[in-house]
Amino acid sequence: MRQEPSNHPLMRVRVATRRQEATDIASFELVAESGGPLPAFAAGAHIDVHVRDGLVRQYSLCNDPAETHRYLIAVLHEPASRGGSKAMHASVQAGDVLTIGEPRNHFPLAAGDRHLLLAGGIGVTPILCMAQRLATTGAAFEMHVCTRSADRTAFRERIAQSSFAAQVRFHHDDGPASQKLDIPGRLARPQAGEHLYVCGPKGFMDAVLSAARASGWPETQLHYEFFAGQTVQSGGDQPFELELARTGRVVCVREDQTALQALLDAGVEIESSCEQGVCGTCATRVLAGVPDHKDLYFTQEEQAANDQFTPCCSRARTARLVLDL
């Protein structure tokens, strides 16, 4: 069972460099403000960046995990930004000091004979980190990067100059049909010991995971990380109650508010970040009742267990949920 720790250690880092990696994508190299080494991380990890005024966003680490002197993140400038990417692009420059959390990893590499890495757009960030680690260990893998166009492909030059360049293929929406990735065709024959990793826009990930499942890929060989959630229309949300097991207190959740909002309004301290059911920061243990899962964080098996939920977006199928709070 995955569950976030109640407190995440924070540290201060300085932006050593800022670089334009592609159209609307900037990278930020972060070093310890003290000048010392940074906590180690594994491929697939991310950090929480405290952007401004209590706004926290998660960004995948895309440098070599063997490096201890820096963290490298890349941020897409989203036109419909909820504040994070807009603030990073508009306000954060080389020399600035940021507060971040220590690396956390919900998207680790698995032990396997072969690895298939599929990246869509900015989803290349954790996938690139994985490729670097797999190349270092000599593991068998292939990597596909799908983007709208070459000028919107982050780290294209870096990948082309890497030791694993021959194992990477680029696919662009504006290119000829012959170079586009045939997702169903590539995933048509799952192999024992081959693991699939996918990250990118939800539509891209849905297409990949749907094709994989249709071809019989076992869930244990599918690994994925969503960058953003999607509002789930449920045809009219109903009010429900949250019972806090440690005190017996009952908090009512209106139909027009989230469980997280209700808890915060009631003065209950609970950590949150993405508010879209992606990061798992607000994950809370459920002791009784049945959640109505609307997150992209828990696996299908974890959701079916109904012993935890994300109050930022999920609701209840029963009149009351008893929470370990």
| Torsion from C-alpha of 276, 280, 281, 282, nearest 10 degrees | 70
Superfamily of domain 10-101: Translation factors (2.40.30.10)
CATH for 114-226, among 3.40.50.720, 3.40.50.300, 3.40.50.80, 3.30.450.40? 3.40.50.80
Residue 100 or 297, more confident = 100
Task: Among 51-55, 137-141, 270-274, name the most confident range.
Answer: 137-141
Tens digits of per-residue pLDDT, 56-85? Answer: 888 999 999 999 999 999 999 987 666 788
Q: What is the mean pLDDT of the chain?
A: 91
Residue-range domain boundaries for the chain = 10-101, 114-226, 240-323
Is residue 9 very low, low, confident or very high in pLDDT (cuts 50, 70, 90)? confident
Is residue 279 very low, low, confident or very high in pLDDT (cuts 50, 70, 90)? confident
Span of 16-30, 187-201, 291-305 with lowest mean pLDDT: 291-305
Q: How far, in Å, CA of 129 to CA of 154, rounded?
A: 13
CB atoms within 10 A of CB 252: 12
- The per-residue pLDDT for 7 is 54
State the average pLDDT over residues 154-160.
Answer: 96
Tens digits of per-residue pLDDT, 222-277? Answer: 999 887 655 444 557 899 999 999 999 999 999 989 999 999 999 998 887 777 77
The answer to whether 23 and 90 are in contact (CB under 8 A) is no
* This prediction's pTM: 0.78
Exposure letters 253-272 (e unless 16+ CB within 10 A, then b): beeeebbbbbbbeeebebbb
CATH for 240-323, among 3.40.1180.10, 3.10.20.30, 3.40.50.300, 3.10.150.10? 3.10.20.30
- The per-residue pLDDT for 54 is 73
Strand segments (E) across the chain = 10-22, 25-32, 46-52, 55-60, 71-76, 97-101, 114-120, 140-147, 168-172, 194-200, 222-226, 240-244, 249-253, 284-288, 291-292, 308-309, 315-316, 320-323
The answer to whether residue 286 scores a pLDDT higher than 70 is yes
